[in-house]
């Protein structure tokens, strides 16, 4: 045994994880779980209404998951197992999913035909893509002549000019106020029975923005949604630390990503520290929030924060599809890792994400009470309708695939995309991830609400009104194997 290891022997620290502990119930002033706040910080500057982040795995988070997460008040991180163009297109789809002032509404010339308009409505290749075209004068014109919707063209002939069927500008509700509030836009729509409001440059008929009823409805129904300054949904995107990842980062920032996640298996490495420093100092990326990981110690937190990280991702080995601890023998049980990293990060005002190993809403409560500001979920979201991937039928049940990003399956797909040989993957890769299936769970939103409901209960059991109070008050009790068995659901027939 090495001298260093021998010296450590008598004081070896013990690592604990979620199943080792419970939160001790405390006197609670909470009368209704609804009065509990789950607001939290994702990074120094980004606040969320619910502390849940969808993992940047290719079986968990593409644009559909990211849209659903942000609508519910969390956020999704788009995976990087695709080309830069594909990842940027996903960012743009999230950003276009809703907004208050649409900056570049789809336009059409007044002389275009119904057939051309039909193509423009179907622009995004799916129903509901564009429900209204702004009719303008000429090819690149910004002078608004009117609006046209699919309903206006129901009885039009294929060759009819749009001008014949549009609603002309004089009959439209318009605004010249670019600082229009949501309430004012809603009132104007109600008063004029309008579904769309063009916002024009003051004193002219030049187009600035378009406001749509469907966006207003979404903004009104989801007041907790995670939004940027333009009321578009927030979205994050993952990058690696290779030479070409900086170009990926620049493209993602340009496409509109609100936060970048520098995501590698061993985040406490010079490679990760250098990438964070570069992102935070290069003028092209310095303004975007940067999360770095994955780490498992306070020392790692200190080093990445010194490099400029605005958030940290904690978890080496707890993931459901992770075999790092078996392959490399390295890692820290997740509850201890969260506590150690939170202690260091919170001294600098930097939030942390507890990433991996969450199996129940109770685990979310424990992670947050231990100091995590948010939790990242992979497995628990992989079976939702929004998660990428096809539905398989296995043992007569509908399932979806979940796969570790450091496993054979994901790396074979990557090799195929990059036109590399499969043999090289088998020869070179030492996989630290595996693949499996999870039951289909239906839409994501109700699943999230259940998880958040469980967390609200957990906060209340700690006698707290919010996450900060929970973290200040929480007391854990360690439990034995018998305690853990007692905690599970009981089979009444055997009692």
Sequence length of the chain is 495
325 is in an annotated binding site: yes
Q: Provide the b/e sequence for 192-227 (b: ≥16 CB within 10 Å).
A: eebbbbbbbeeeeeebbbbbbbebbebbeebeebbb
Cβ closest to ligand IMP, residue 273 vs residue 405:
405
Nearest residue to ligand IMP, scored by beta-carbon proximity: 433
Contact call for residue 356 and ligand IMP (CB under 6 A): yes
For 413, counting Cβ atoms within 10 Å of its Cβ (0-12 exposed, 13-18 middle, 19+ buried), the class is: middle
Question: At its nearest, how many Å lie between ligand IMP and the CB of residue 34?
Answer: 27
Question: At its nearest, how many Å lie between ligand IMP and the CB of residue 21?
Answer: 18
Q: Which residues pair with 393 in a beta bridge?
A: 398
**Which residue from 200, 358, 455, 470 is in contact with ligand IMP, where contact means CB under 6 A?**
358
**Which residue from 256, 333, 378, 383 is in contact with ligand IMP, where contact means CB under 6 A?**
378
Instruction: Show the site string, 449-478: x = touches ligand IMP by CB under 6 A, - = not.
Output: ------------------------------
Question: At its nearest, how many Å lie between ligand IMP and the CB of residue 226?
Answer: 19
Catalytic residues: 322, 324, 420
Question: At its nearest, how many Å lie between ligand IMP and the CB of residue 402?
Answer: 7
**Which residue from 113, 379, 384, 471 is in contact with ligand IMP, where contact means CB under 6 A?**
379
355 is in an annotated binding site: yes
Alpha helices in 376-443 (DSSP H): 379-382, 408-417, 422-428
Q: CA 99, CA 217: separation in Å to the nearest integer? A: 11
Q: What dihedral angle (degrees, nearest 10) is formed by the CA atoms of 298, 304, 310, 313? A: -60
Q: CA 463, CA 467: separation in Å to the nearest integer? A: 11
406 is in an annotated binding site: yes
Contact call for residue 233 and ligand IMP (CB under 6 A): no
**Which residue from 333, 357, 371, 383 is in contact with ligand IMP, where contact means CB under 6 A?**
357
Centre a 10 Å sphere on the Cβ of residue 250 and count the other Cβ atoms it contains.
17
Contact call for residue 76 and ligand IMP (CB under 6 A): no
**Which residue from 76, 362, 383, 407 is in contact with ligand IMP, where contact means CB under 6 A?**
407
Q: Which range of residues in 126-134, 143-151, 372-380, 441-449 is near ligand IMP by CB under 6 A? A: 372-380
Q: Provide the b/e sequence for 24-62 (b: ≥16 CB within 10 Å).
A: eeeeeebeeeeebebebbbbeebebbbbbbbbbbbbbbb
Question: At its nearest, how many Å lie between ligand IMP and the CB of residue 257?
Answer: 18
Reduced 3-state DSSP string for 452-487 = HHHHHHHHHHCCCCCHHHHHHHCCEEECCHHHHHHH
Q: CA 53, CA 355: separation in Å to the nearest integer? A: 9
**Which residue from 152, 289, 355, 363 is in contact with ligand IMP, where contact means CB under 6 A?**
355
Question: At its nearest, how many Å lie between ligand IMP and the CB of residue 360?
Answer: 11
264 is in an annotated binding site: yes
Per CB under 6 A, contacts with ligand IMP among 290-349 are: 294, 315, 319-322, 324
* DSSP letters spanning 50-112: S-EEE-S-TTT-SHHHHHHHHHHT-EEEE--SS-HHHHHHHHHHHHHH--SSBSS--EEETT-
357 is in an annotated binding site: yes
Residue 319: closest CA among 51, 12, 67, 56: 56
Q: CA 74, CA 193: separation in Å to the nearest integer? A: 33
Question: At its nearest, how many Å lie between ligand IMP and the CB of residue 354?
Answer: 10
Q: Which residues pair with 384 in a beta bridge?
A: 442
Instruction: Show the site string, 39-68: x = touches ligand IMP by CB under 6 A, - = not.
Output: ----------------x-x-----------
Q: CA 434, CA 345: separation in Å to the nearest integer? A: 31
Size of the site for ligand IMP (CB under 6 A): 23
Per CB under 6 A, contacts with ligand IMP among 414-453 are: 432-433
Cβ closest to ligand IMP, residue 51 vs residue 378:
378
459 is in an annotated binding site: yes
Q: Which residues make up the interface to ligand IMP (CB under 6 A)?
A: 55, 57, 294, 315, 319-322, 324, 355-358, 376-379, 404-407, 432-433
Which residues contribute to the annotated binding site? 32-33, 80, 263-265, 315-317, 319, 322, 325, 355-357, 378-379, 404-406, 457-460
Which residues contribute to the annotated binding site for GMP? 355-357, 378-379, 404-406
Which residues contribute to the annotated binding site for NAD(+)? 263-265, 315-317
């Amino acid at each position: 045994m090495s001298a260093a290891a021998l010296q450590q022997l008598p004081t070896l620290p013990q690592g604990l994880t979620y199943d080792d502990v419970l939160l001790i119930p405390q006197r609670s002033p909470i009368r209704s779980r609804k009065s509990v706040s789950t607001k939290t910080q994702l990074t120094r500057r980004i606040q969320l209404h619910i502390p849940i982040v969808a993992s940047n795995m290719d079986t968990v988070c593409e644009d559909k998951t990211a849209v659903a997460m942000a609508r519910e008040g969390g956020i999704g991180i788009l995976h990087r197992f695709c080309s830069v163009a594909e990842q940027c297109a996903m960012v743009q789809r999230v950003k276009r999913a809703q907004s208050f002032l649409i900056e570049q509404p789809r336009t059409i010339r007044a002389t275009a035909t119904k057939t051309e308009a039909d193509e423009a409505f179907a622009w995004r290749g799916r129903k509901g893509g564009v429900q209204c075209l702004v009719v303008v004068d000429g090819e690149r014109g910004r002078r608004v002549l009117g609006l046209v919707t699919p309903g206006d063209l129901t009885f039009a002939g294929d060759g009819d000019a749009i001008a014949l069927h549009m609603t002309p500008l004089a009959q439209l509700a318009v605004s010249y106020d670019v600082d229009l509030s949501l309430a004012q836009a809603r009132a104007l729509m109600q008063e004029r029975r309008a579904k769309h409001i063009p916002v024009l440059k003051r004193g002219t008929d030049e187009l600035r923005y378009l406001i749509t009823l469907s966006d207003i409805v979404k903004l009104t129904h989801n007041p907790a949604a995670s939004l940027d300054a333009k009321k578009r949904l927030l979205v994050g995107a993952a990058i690696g630390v290779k030479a070409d990842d900086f170009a990926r980062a620049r493209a993602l920032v340009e496409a509109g990503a609100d936060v970048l996640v520098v995501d590698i298996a061993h985040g406490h490495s010079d490679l990760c520290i250098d990438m964070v420093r570069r992102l935070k100092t290069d003028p092209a990326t310095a303004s975007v929030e940067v999360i770095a990981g994955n780490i498992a110690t306070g020392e790692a937190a200190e080093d990445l924060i010194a490099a400029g990280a605005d958030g940290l991702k904690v978890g080496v080995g707890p993931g459901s599809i992770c075999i790092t601890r078996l392959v490399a023998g390295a890692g820290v049980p997740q509850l201890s890792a969260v506590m150690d990293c939170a202690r260091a990060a919170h001294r600098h005002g930097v939030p942390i994400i507890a990433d991996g190993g969450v199996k129940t809403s109770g685990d979310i409560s424990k992670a947050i009470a231990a100091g995590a500001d948010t939790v990242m979920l992979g497995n628990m979201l992989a079976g939702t309708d929004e998660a990428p991937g096809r539905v398989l039928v296995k043992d007569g049940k509908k399932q979806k695939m979940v796969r570790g990003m450091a496993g054979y399956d994901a790396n074979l797909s990557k090799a195929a995309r990059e036109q590399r040989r499969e043999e090289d993957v088998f020869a070179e890769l030492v996989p630290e991830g595996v693949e499996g299936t999870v039951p289909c769970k239906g839409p994501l939103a109700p699943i999230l609400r259940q998880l958040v409901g469980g967390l609200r209960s957990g906060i209340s059991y700690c006698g707290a009104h919010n996450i900060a109070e929970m973290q200040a008050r929480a007391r854990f009790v360690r439990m034995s194997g018998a305690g853990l068995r007692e905690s599970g659901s009981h089979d009444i027939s055997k009692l």
